[in-house]
Amino acid sequence: MNKPRAFNLNDALAAWRRPLEQHRAFLPGDVDELEEHLRDHIDRLQADGLDAQTAFREATARMGAIVDLEPEYEKVRWTKHRYRRSLWLELFAEQTMLKNYLTIALRTLRRHKGYTFINISGLALGLACCLLIGLYVWHERSYDQHHENADRIYRLLYTYGEGADAPKPPRAAFAAWGSAAPGPALAEDFPEVEHVVRFSGGHTMLLQRDNTPYQEEDYYFADSTVFQVFDFALLKGNPATALARPNTIVLTETAARKYFGDDDPMGETLRMDNDTELVVTGVMADLPSNTHFRIDMLLSIITFEQTAPDYMFQSWGYIDFFTYVLLREGQDAETVKAKLPAFITQRIGDQLDDETYFLDLEPLADAYLSPDRGILQVGPKGNPANLSLFAMAGLFILLIAGINFTNLSTARSMARAKEVGVRKVIGSARRMLVQQFLMESVVLALLAMVLALGLAALSIPLLGSLSGGVFTFALLLQPTAWALLFAMALVVGLLAGSYPALVLSAFNPVVVLKGAFTRSKQGVWLRKGLVGAQFVISALLLIGTLGVFYQLDFLRSQSLGFADEQQLVLDHGHDRTVVEQLDAALRTFGAHPAVQQAMATRSYPGSYRPNAGTSVEGEDGRLDEQAYHIFEVGAGFVPHLGLELVAGRAFDPLAFPTDSTQALMINEAAARLHGYANPADAVGKLFAQWGREGEVIGVLKDFNHESLHRAITPLSLRFAPFSTRFLVLQVDTQDLPQTLAQLETQWTELFPHLPFLYSFMDASFDAQYRAEERFGRLFSLFSGLALFVACLGLFGIATFTTQQRTKEIGVRKVLGASVPQLVGLLSKDIVRLLLMALVVAFSLAYFGLSRWLDQFAYRMAFPFVLFAIAGVSILAVALLTVSYQTLRAATADPVKSLRYE
Amino acid sequence: MIPKVLVAASVRPLMLSILDHGESYGYAIIQRIHDLSDGKLQWTDGTLYPVLHRLEAEGLIVSSWRKSEVGRRRKYYALTPAGQQALETEKKYWLDVHAMLLALWGPSPQLAGA
């Protein structure tokens, strides 16, 4: 017989504590406090003569039962500090449940390896693409934002309108390459303006310290205010004075190292163009990659001004400057803009002859991604249209991956209907089920995120070479990248998981457990719609990619109107010695057996060319003044490039000595501009241009002297061998290396003070399409990946649907259906869906691609053949994907399938 | 016995007033109210602690665990300046109510017959 155990107060209290401790409403300290209360009370009751057991009962009764206390404690629980710290965990799920969800999630993922693989790898691919695109877009949008005053800096734009009261032209008509005079005038007249800085560049100079000369292009003359406006960090030198005096130069670190190695360049001199000594007055940090400036060195603008004719700095019509304006803090650009017309009238109103001059301010942030501002920019120019296409592709890819994810999860979860039913019967609340499924998809998404990071890191070298160096590891190492990736994964996980979570958790357990569900139609339409959307997107991307390539091909196959091949261009950068010995030099090079022709010129198609105010006598006998491009050329330019004359004759200074002072050639576009529909009528008309007067001697058939992005614009040619910069040799390209080596030897003998710089005309002309080419390559890579991800998803869906129809297939087979019949039956749905998707995609692609093509002056007719190509290839890929599954199902042993379920 | 609604309403001013006399711990506070009311205020002891916790969360009182003179760990509560203020406000409310009732029930009811 067991003796009843003696009452032990401590044991009793411990037993009393236990249920409280397990309840989340009570924190450990709360229970301690209550226990101490009980002990006090019991002490007192015992002092009154009660025995321990009775005292314990009495005290606990007064304390109240858990059911009474819990709601009160629960009410104040959220106000307690220690709890707030773990609040976010609490919000998601109770910790123990969280652990349980995680376990189940991992178990489910492990059990269905194929599904997990498709889901994770598809999402990882999508995330990686989207991350890289996101970083690229972010990089492109971050241009010039590192200047402290970035939001107060504006670029001065200008344009002309025809007529005295012309309306303001569209934004795209404004150019950044303008005159020197408006800048200082602005600073004088506008109290809102804090500083103005002008840059002048786009030329070449020869710079040398001792013996080795380098030809420099990325240099600018700049006002001394440049360091007050921009954050070009001066590592050495005084920003206030560095560019204040004539003949001073500030080098970037890289340029300083190039000329001075480890020596201190401060106060040292460099010789410019073999005559001017420049004193180094500062060293500035190299510019970051995300700025629209390409600057290796800055020279004081007074260096330029003191040797330039007065009109260059005083005229509002002479174009060779970029002006940037820093507004005072708190000043509104709109106020300044509103006052610009009055300012112009006051300053130059009396000089304007039946035309209107416009100025505008463009925020610095827009300088890189603004519309095309004409041929000359300070540095590189982004393409906003391509960038938004890119961003769209990124979103599309993420969308495809997300849809996949949702589809696969939903499809998979149908098979888990029974699990849901059982859980519900056991007592799982809907909230818990939702949490469980969300947990699963978030775990999947996070796994995909890790994989995506790896993929992105691996693909960066490849992308780096495809994109021309925009993608670097540094991009990936930024916290922004990680945050972006994490946010994307979380959002996709939650969004993609929410649909299956809500659908699944809503199952009626009775229906599900009876087994009715796997045959239900619920969710089929949504899934089909999502798959359809994926294919719309894939087709769009495919057509877009092919379209870009077709257009590039079209551009390359265009007849340029001049002989661009085998033209070797030697650049002497307006060197005086070369110009003085031009004829001798051309004879020397022309005598080389591999050289067929040699000529000199200042500009050639695709290269830099100035604008010139040009007046030609109109049909009414009055001089009609227009501004358009000018090529200053040497003898033989026209035959050398194989240009066609439509009227008159080409320059021939031997037969017509006046050609070097009184003759002008124009192209058909220029003739039309001056009002001559028939080019022959322009020949013999008077002209005035840049100090020359005489007659138009010939009209050239239009040739592409700029780029195929633009229609052919008016152009004039004048004979000016002393202004030339390039020697152009038409060479036999057989054994080119040897020819080049020999030419270099000749060059060095003739001009020992000059570096031998050469390029090929066709290559430089093609370089204008390099951006498109890069874009095309990147775009095709990403759209290929998108298609792949979409197919992964299709594969998953096909697997699932065939699985669902296992029994049907078995029955059909037993009844005599053949394998092809079955495959047809199973593929029918997909094909119908695809056809619908293609119709939608085609119409969208038609509008999208047409708009993209519109930016080219030479655009192909809309390539409808692309629709066929895209349609057939997508259909083929999709059917291949599906047929693997359907074939397997159709050839399976019906006995097995009939035993299924 | 005082009805529940009134008990609930008066717990707050009661606790603040007790702590106004000096810091104290849960059991002692509850015991004090018990003694004062002579058993007319009745509650389950445990539900009074959440009230203290709420006052603490509102910043009217602060708590600290300390060893008592008999060697037991106790959580002491003390009034903060904000608590003092809150007590003054409570006092005013209750005295106003008290004055109103007194006016109605007193020896010369001002509103009688009006």
> For A771-808, what is each residue's pLDDT tens digit?
777 777 777 787 788 778 877 777 777 777 777 777 77
A804 and A734, same domain (yes or no): no
Evaluate whether A542 touches A870 at the Cβ level (below 8 Å).
Answer: yes
Q: Which of A366, A398, A429 is the last residue of a domain?
A: A366
pLDDT at A625: 85
Residue A377 lies in a domain: no
Name the residue range of residue B73's domain: 4-105
Chain centroid, CA A503 distance in Å:
38
Nearest CB to B45 within list A39, A62, A75: A62
Count of C-beta atoms within a 10 Å radius of residue B24 = 19
From A385, A406, A403, select the one nearest A395 (Cα to Cα).
A403
Residue B20 lies in a domain: yes
CB < 8 Å to A73, chain B = 49-50, 53
Whether residue B44 is predicted with pLDDT greater than 90 in this model: the reply is no
Residue of chain A with shortest Cα separation from B26: A37
Domain count, chain A: 4
Residue A294 lies in a domain: yes
Evaluate whether A407 touches A527 at the Cβ level (below 8 Å).
Answer: yes
CB < 8 Å to A44, chain B = 31
From A786, A136, A146, select the one nearest A480 (Cα to Cα).
A136
Residue B110 lies in a domain: no
Q: What is the DSSP letter of A178?
A: B
Nearest CB to A69 within list B27, B47, B57: B47
A825 and A728, same domain (yes or no): no
CB < 8 Å to B28, chain A = 40
Q: Which residues pair with A278 in a beta bridge?
A: A270
Q: Is A28 on the interface with B (CB under 8 A)?
A: no
For A15-19, A719-723, A882-886, which range has the lowest pLDDT when averaged over its residues? A882-886
CB < 8 Å to B74, chain A = 36
CB < 8 Å to B47, chain A = 64, 68-69, 72
For A91-95, A108-112, A547-551, A700-704, which range has the lowest pLDDT when averaged over its residues? A91-95
Evaluate whether A315 touches A158 at the Cβ level (below 8 Å).
Answer: no
pLDDT at B113: 44
- How many angstroms away from the CA of A21 is the closest CA of chain B? 15
From A501, A552, A491, select the one nearest A523 (Cα to Cα).
A501
Two tokens, residue B61: 């009182």
Q: Is A73 on the interface with B (CB under 8 A)?
A: yes
CB < 8 Å to B57, chain A = 76, 79-80
CB < 8 Å to B31, chain A = 44
Residue B112 lies in a domain: no
Whether residue A86 is predicted with pLDDT greater than 60 in this model: the reply is no
A420 and A440, same domain (yes or no): yes
> Per the CB < 8 Å rule, is B53 touching A80?
yes
Helix (H, G, I), strand (E, B) or coil at A727: strand
Residue of chain A with shortest Cα separation from B57: A79
- How many angstroms away from the CA of A154 is the closest CA of chain B? 53
> Per the CB < 8 Å rule, is A41 touching B45?
yes
Residue A51 lies in a domain: yes
Q: Which comes out higher in pLDDT, residue A607 or A255? A: A255
> Per the CB < 8 Å rule, is B54 touching A76?
yes
Q: What is the pLDDT of residues A741-779, one digit of tens each?
A: 899 999 989 888 888 888 888 877 777 677 777 777 777
Question: What's the whole-number mean pLDDT along residues B105-111?
Answer: 64
Q: What is the DSSP string of A606-628?
A: TS---EEEEEEE-TTSSEEEEEE
How would residue A193 be classed by pLDDT, with cut points 50, 70 and 90? very high
A620 and A544, same domain (yes or no): no
Q: Residues in chain A, how many?
A: 901
Q: Which comes out higher in pLDDT, residue A162 or A197? A: A197
For A180-194, A413-427, B9-23, B24-38, which range has the lowest pLDDT when averaged over its residues? A413-427
* Calpha distance A38→A64 (Å, rounded): 11
pLDDT at A510: 73
Q: Can you give the CATH number for the domain in which B15 is found?
A: 1.10.10.10
Whether residue B84 is predicted with pLDDT greater than 90 in this model: the reply is yes
Q: Is A39 on the interface with B (CB under 8 A)?
A: yes
pLDDT at A729: 92
Residues A239, A241, A245, A251, CA torsion sign: negative
Residue A98 lies in a domain: no
* Calpha distance A419→A416 (Å, rounded): 5
Residue B114 lies in a domain: no
A354 and A417, same domain (yes or no): no
Whether residue A71 is predicted with pLDDT greater than 50 in this model: the reply is yes
pLDDT at A522: 57
Nearest CB to B75 within list A33, A69, A80: A33
Q: Is A80 on the interface with B (CB under 8 A)?
A: yes
Whether residue A889 is predicted with pLDDT greater than 50 in this model: the reply is yes
Domain count, chain B: 1
Residue A828 lies in a domain: yes
Question: What's the whole-number mean pLDDT along residues A119-124?
Answer: 85
Q: Is B26 on the interface with A (CB under 8 A)?
A: yes
Residue B49 lies in a domain: yes
* Calpha distance B95→A77 (Å, rounded): 32
High-pLDDT (> 70) share of chain B, %: 93
Q: Is B87 on the interface with A (CB under 8 A)?
A: no
pLDDT at A521: 58
Q: Is B68 on the interface with A (CB under 8 A)?
A: no
> Per the CB < 8 Å rule, is B57 touching A72?
no
Q: Which of A744, A766, A788 is the last residue of a domain?
A: A766
Q: What is the pLDDT of residues A700-729, one digit of tens each?
A: 999 888 877 777 889 999 999 888 889 999
> Per the CB < 8 Å rule, is B57 touching A63?
no
A635 and A750, same domain (yes or no): yes
Residue B68 lies in a domain: yes
pLDDT at A667: 93
Q: Is A9 on the interface with B (CB under 8 A)?
A: no
A835 and A713, same domain (yes or no): no
* Calpha distance A409→A830 (Å, rounded): 19
Q: What is the pLDDT of residues A72-81, one digit of tens each?
A: 887 776 666 5
Question: What's the whole-number mean pLDDT along residues A571-583?
Answer: 86
Q: Which residues pair with B75 in a beta bridge?
A: B65
A528 and A663, same domain (yes or no): no
Chain centroid, CA A456 distance in Å:
16
Q: Is A63 on the interface with B (CB under 8 A)?
A: yes
Whether residue A600 is predicted with pLDDT greater than 80 in this model: the reply is yes
Strand order in the sheet with B24-25: B24-25, B73-79, B61-67
Residue B92 lies in a domain: yes
> Per the CB < 8 Å rule, is A32 touching B30?
no
pLDDT at A254: 92
Nearest CB to B46 within list A39, A44, A63: A63
A750 and A781, same domain (yes or no): no
Name the residue range of residue A432's domain: 384-556+770-899
Question: CA–CA distance from A85 to each of A75, A81, A177 (Å)?
Answer: 17, 7, 59
Q: Is B47 on the interface with A (CB under 8 A)?
A: yes
- How many angstroms away from the CA of A67 is the closest CA of chain B? 11
From B46, B76, B47, select the one nearest B62 (Cα to Cα).
B76
CB < 8 Å to A79, chain B = 53-54, 57
pLDDT at A95: 60
pLDDT at A1: 43
Q: Which comes out higher in pLDDT, residue A245 or A770? A: A245
Residue B41 lies in a domain: yes
Nearest CB to B74 within list A36, A44, A75: A36
A537 and A656, same domain (yes or no): no
Nearest CB to A41 within list B25, B27, B44: B27
Q: Which of A37, A55, A85 is the last residue of a domain?
A: A85
How would residue A325 be classed by pLDDT, with cut points 50, 70 and 90? very high
Q: Is A84 on the interface with B (CB under 8 A)?
A: no
Question: What's the whole-number mean pLDDT along residues A9-13?
Answer: 89
